[in-house]
Structure 1
Amino acid sequence: MPGGPAGAVAGASERSRARVRAWAELLRLPALFTVPGDALAGAAALTRCPGHRILFAIGSSCCLYEAGMVLNDWADRAEDAADRPHRPLPSGRVSPAAAFTAACAFTAAGLALAARAGRPALTIAAPLAATVWSYDLALKHTPAGPFTMAAARGLDLLLGAAATGGRARPALPSAALLATHTLAVTTLSRQETREGTPTAALAALATTGALTWLVQRRPTLGPPPNRRSPDGQVHGRRGRPEPGSAHRSPAPLTAALAATYAGTTARSYLHASLNPSPPLTQQAVGAGIRGTIPLQAALIARSGGTAGTATALLTAALAPVARRLARRVSIT
């Protein structure tokens, strides 16, 4: 029959592309580019070059992040059927059973990769996985929801530090800054599907201003005893600058990346505060998610050194890739 086999092949190819697109939407692939910078920023907080274990930490972070994405839609499938029927689960393009299985598989893979990064990394990844599941299944629609999501981002950064140096304490200041940004974005996202108030967008705007300033300051927890920090100061036993050490202004790269972070988010937050409608709020949330990347890059850049500069630039380069992909697959 003329054209029969060719038509069957074309139909199979079209169905395959449709399945790939459905899973890309479910996984929110553009948002995945915001994940590697977490582990890299955690490693940079130790002021040392990350070894091969950081690759396992990044892989673990990506898997646990995608587990959260899939589980989020699985838990919200009834709500999405009313508010967002085009999403993969309510539209029937992905079955609930397949989504739940994928969430379990991603979680198992994330923990396995963390174990390869070392026992300290696994001790961070286990509570991170528990936080992800608790958020999606129980806490998302409670007042604790945004704080739980913020905790997950902070733990993700600490995972990179634990994989790099076996300890997480030096990365706590960076984790706190990243968690604060996540708290603001998550709070704003709670009114994506309904007419809201300007309060959340204004709070996110104020948070952006504060973080832009704070990320350019020195971390409050210093390097190990008698170690020379990236800014050239010699630190004593308690990690404080020795008397007489000169204060230096932020490095140009750190300042530039901090400004990029502010520029990525502030305008959308302002628009959402002036008109807190669902479309503008969704745009603001998307900008906040993309803004995570230059914030991570700024956190990495302030560690100083050639390795820190190269890693910061590599992280920042993920932003245009995520933005380009977001034109085809929604980031929220």
Structure 2
Amino acid sequence: MNIKQSEVSNYCGLILVDKAAGMTSHKIVSLVRKALNIDKVGHLGTLDPFATGLLPVLIGGATRLSDEIMDGKKQYLFTIKLGKETDTLDASGRIVEEKNVPQNFAELIEAKLNLFQGEIEQIPPVYSALKMNGKPLYEYMRASGSIPNPIETKKRKIFIEKLEIVNSNLSEESISLRVLCGKGTYVRSLARDLAKAIGTVGYCSQLRREFVEPWHVENAIYVSADIDKQELKNKIDSNLIPVIKILPKIPEIELDENFLKQISSGNIVLLDRSNSILPEQFLQQKQITSAFVKVKNFEIMFYSEIKFIAETNQFKIMPKKKMY
């Protein structure tokens, strides 16, 4: 293997970005690619252009771990502008409906919060990246203003763990809330549905993602569209989370050098449970299902599946995703 250690540390891991408003998630990825001069960059969980906040970005071989870390909880702070609904369910869209707003809207929403917690059904926005017939919904809307099938066919079950009011503004007829939710939740749809629950309409005027389990926006680097390329590179160099810390509960195995050819070719490795190179977790339990596997004195690492074979008292190590 001909990989320098500096390249491994700089170009394999995760960076937490605090995205500025007005930028697409893809724009963030593009900026990181240019700053590092690397192609393998990908984000976790798209943020709408008008939204701000936490966008985890995977770099290098760490991009292969997206499936393993996408299922965590997310937390958002959002504001609903009541009295108007737009086709995009945010401030960028065209107004499609207007209704009067009850003066006690905060009290009414407070009384309805329990209906929007736990497992609920949600209809996504027509302007979203969800696909219909293999094409994102927003592409249909931008091209013709309609989608092939009713949006209700995309209804899905989501889970909302916590939903609370942060503050309200009577003169602006707006209310801010914080939600802790599971994968697949559309906050713009939640804003629409909360407004309808009290007999009016509304759209999501502000949205900030504060948390993507286990990371918080307080630990993120702020990135705007005009950031200098060298400045961004410096920030990444100082704040990159190494690949083995992205999934801290997964153990690390360092194999002896004689396993280099075997593991670098992606071949299965069998280790006796009593082998001294196995971490303590392997000795205490047999339910280990994955591990990061390295080779001593060589810059190579695989995310590997682990299976315990009771008949031979061995662990079967199956390299699946090469990190570097």
What TM-score, normalized to structure 1?
A: 0.24
- Higher Rg: 2
Greater strand percent: which structure?
Answer: 2
